Amino acid sequence: MGYILNQICFAYDQKTIFENLSITFQKGFFYGILGPNGCGKTTLLDLLLRYHRPNKGIILFNEKSINTYARKTLSQQIALVPQDFDIQFPFLVEEIVMMGRYPHLPRFSRPQKFDNTIVQQVLEKTGTWKLKNRMITELSKGEKQRVVFARALAQDTEMLLLDEATANLDIEHSLHLLELARKGVIESGKTVIAVFHDINLAAMFCDEIIFMMHGKVFAKGKVNQILTSDNIKHVFHVNAKIQFDTETNTNQVIFKRK
């Protein structure tokens, strides 16, 4: 169960992004995807969401071709937190978070008591309760990001995709929201696939790390096996020291100045 990508080829605007990419994401793990700009991290998420379709190869989701799913069915099982969330209409924050419940509602139906309960719980857990009666257009980038994170949690899916979801957040809210995602993996068997720029954040929360280069998987495995000075040098072209941190119980990276 989860995702299986087999021999995926994908080109965009005549530029090859992936050629014979194969990768598996098992259910119940927190995966971190890292790599230099332009290596295909966000495009990979787009394929997992079926925003793009591969030119060749097959993507299986829960042992079925992802192409066989209706869009609403996918939305009931996969949620996305994008890096940038821009909306021009003055919806209330509570209304934005309620949008996460729409895939679960019958056509033309209004949210029920159960949906309202989930939204209220998510607003409280994400610390966005105090924002619920404000217009989304009035919020800062960081506040908007927390709201879209809350919307994804309200969607209550088995799969959560994060595309640099903490890029606009301060460290307090980054840690808190990633902890909520991690809690979903541990307590409910959910799966998180997250694109990171911050290697140390990825190491703190992920079960496995995937290093990507030039549209290919350079290395994939458990954090403390993959997070090495040699791998970082090869992928990012920087020198780094790896140090085990007893507080986080994982390897952390110390970068060396040139």
Q: Give the pLDDT score at 105.
A: 94
- Asked if 192 and 181 count as a contact pair (C-beta separation under 8 A), the reply is yes
Q: Give the pLDDT score at 56.
A: 96
pLDDT along the chain (258 residues), means of 10: 94 91 97 95 96 96 96 96 84 96 92 96 96 94 95 97 93 96 96 96 97 95 95 95 91 87
Cα→Cα distances 168→115, 164, 220, Å: 28, 9, 27
Give domain limits for the chain: 2-223
User: Token digits for 244?
Assistant: 């085990």
User: Token digits for 77?
Assistant: 């099982």
User: Token digits for 48?
Assistant: 């997992």
Alpha helices in the chain (DSSP H): 41-48, 71-77, 93-98, 113-125, 141-155, 171-188, 199-205, 223-226, 229-236
Q: Cα–Cα distance between 181 and 160 in angstroms, integer?
A: 8
The class (CATH top level) of 2-223 is alpha beta
User: Token digits for 173?
Assistant: 């809210």
Q: What is the pTM of this model?
A: 0.95
Q: Give the pLDDT score at 151.
A: 97
